[in-house]
Structure 1
């Protein structure tokens, strides 16, 4: 890791995050001779420990001051060597799209326009858009508009990221978000005021989709046309009740690709998209859960399965989209070991009225067997061990903050 150095060759700016996507991007692009500039407000991060981290540039904390972060990111974009910036967090996707015209004076950005981004960030608008595109989506309402609490329901934040663009009660530099997902007891109407307080921003209520199968579709689009589309099945998440992936296996299901591309086509999408789906055990339909307009938590597994989206993004940004080969290998599995640990821990620390808790011995056996049969890992690498060791250190520091047993997913 080098602070403040530059390169004579082409460079890419990659914001830091505490999941494997930043490191996966570095490991993909640095061996191609691309200088990697890790942009971070943090003092420590897994990416800093990677031998593929070419440089670190400190920025303002985007969660404290979006405009200061924007200005720091613009300073990076204005460098002669930087060709593009990779969005790895919701805040990156927002800043790059919201201020796209300012950034594109310096770099090439394959990102959506604000009209499309808002329809993805606002889950109420996303549900309306999915219905207009003719693809399955759970019944989605504001809490006050729910008239039947006898169904299996859950609540989550209305916005992936809430900013003054979506809510003028916020100041221009403010943002808010909530990762909390609550599974309601069937037939019990919650107190709506306390519900909003817990979520910090306005929540939505969605119908729970029965079934245990979760899928992800990743895509890269160029002004409404797909350049690459990838699918995996999420075998285990970081919580047994549903969450980001801990173990995934690559698949190719035509019906799943169809519902994803139909929606992105309808949005006339541009840039990266990560679409999460649940397979309804009653209807067999793939039902949309959400879209993230950025690199995804399981990016390292996607690359291990042969779909190198960081390289695809670089090729699109540098005018070489025709070189993208979107093929990938099927039946390949990959683990995030920290995620596997958190999945096992969730058996003791979470509860849900809608999801049956699996047996602990059975879960440990499944993790061990899949690790033996599919020994591929997001962070663990003999070639680049630093990020894995840092991830283990981070896990030890985070453990006390993992919630105790509660009726939340």
Structure 2
């Protein structure tokens, strides 16, 4: 759904757009700002066919760039950059740099070189002490044969499950490896009093625009993508993010997730996503128009970028708020105390009253929200 703020941002500035998807009727197609659409193969089933179809669209004389909306896009645009750059200008990291953030072991090494706090990280098959508080998660943001030799050629997938391990218990290593198709990582659990996002658009190591928000609620009480966020500026967070991206000589979009350590106050790195982010409507609502920034850089207008934004702008994801509430009823963690149901409802209604802005509910373009709600209900009833 982050494609919608891209569409709206560019279309309202008179820039023609071409929406491409493997789905026949994604919610964004219901927007009145839609110009043209194209059907793509499913990237998780045939990544090369997906790439070939995108290259075919990029070769059109009226297409000037391609915006990476998800991990598969960032991967395809970086791995096959030479094929795309025959026709369009991209703002994406080279493959070696992309690997350094898609592989959380390499990311941990880069963070250490940059002097940026990161949880103790090691492969699961090297972990032998379970007396502390740990979580098990995928080593890779995206699974492909480029990263995991045993993964089926030409396919792509993600392993999003995060296992919170009870102190003193040894997790089932074989089952975790089998379920994730590779040896995942173990990270120490970080007690947090706040989650934050730093977003940036970089030009070969130099920031063109940056943005921060505090994630007040995620789609689960134990973590996840932000569903209630408020724009902020924290100098220490800016310094930590810039140090990491400078170490990586970053180029392109970066969405970096941080936890503020409840005991030390340090901003501890969680992950880096090299694409547009789930909470993009919140970013644009605060005035940080990253879809337009990307277009400006790709078309040689980087000097026209205005990176300012408003502080204190809060936004909600309606579907995400429902997911958070469901997590309070269903999820469980030995490390995070479950919030009370009534208190959760009070906080949700209070924040919605104080910050009554909801993703995809623009009065002049409600078709996207309606289509998305219809699909959500349909999927839940299946």
Structure 2 length as normaliser, TM-score?
0.98
Task: After superposition, give the CA deviation of every residue in 1:52-90 in whole Å (9 maximum; x if it has no partner).
Answer: 121110011100000000000000000111110000100
The CA distance in 1 between the partners of 2:372 and 2:326, in whole Å, is: 17
Q: Could you tell me how far apart the structure 2 residues matched to 1:351 and 1:394 are?
A: 28
* 1:160 corresponds to which of 112, 119, 141: 141
After TM superposition, give the deviation of residue 169 of structure 1 in Å.
Answer: 2.9
Q: What aligned pairs does 1:370-389 form with structure 2 within 5 A after superposition?
A: 370-389=351-370
* Deviation of 1:395 (Å): 2.1
Q: Does 1:274 align with 2:251?
A: no
1:405 aligned residue: none
- 2:41 is aligned with 1:60: yes
Match of 2:90?
Answer: 109
Give the structure 2 partner of residue 142 of structure 1.
123
User: Aligned residue for 1:4?
Assistant: none
| Matched residue, 2:8 | 27
SS in 1 for 2:42: coil
In the TM superposition, 1:282-293 aligns within 5 A as 282-293=263-274
Mapped contact 1:178–1:201 kept (Cα < 8 A): no
- Structure-2 separation of matches of 1:54 and 1:212: 44
Q: Runs of 5+ in structure 1 lacking a partner?
A: 1-19, 402-409
> Following superposition of structure 1 onto structure 2, how do residues 232-247 of structure 1 map, counting pairs within 5 Å?
232-247=213-228
Equivalent residue, structure 2, for 1:36: 17
The CA deviation string for residues 112-148 of structure 1, in whole angstroms up to 9 with x for no partner, is: 0011000000011101110111100000111111121
- Among 229, 241, 259, which residue is 1:260 paired with? 241
> Do residues 72 (structure 1) and 53 (structure 2) align?
yes
Q: Distance in 1 between matches of 2:172 and 2:118?
A: 26
Is 2:168 the partner of 1:187? yes
Question: Deviation at 1:196?
Answer: 1.4
How many matched pairs? 382
In the alignment, the residues of structure 2 paired with residue 146 and residue 226 of structure 1 have an alpha-carbon distance, to the nearest angstrom, of 38
TM-score if structure 1 supplies the norm length? Answer: 0.91
- 1:131 corresponds to: 112
- Mapped partners of 1:198, 1:66: distance in 2: 21
Distance 2:335 2:178 in 1: 23
**Which ranges of 4 or more aligned residues in structure 1 deviate by more than 2 Å?**
167-172, 197-202, 397-401
Q: Could you give the per-residue CA deviations for residues 243-278 of structure 1, whole angstroms, max 9, x where no partner exists?
A: 011100000000001000100000000000000000
User: 1:199 is matched with which residue?
Assistant: 180
User: Do the aligned partners of 2:71 and 2:273 also contact (CA within 8 Å) in 1?
Assistant: yes
CA distance in 1, matches of 2:75, 2:122: 24
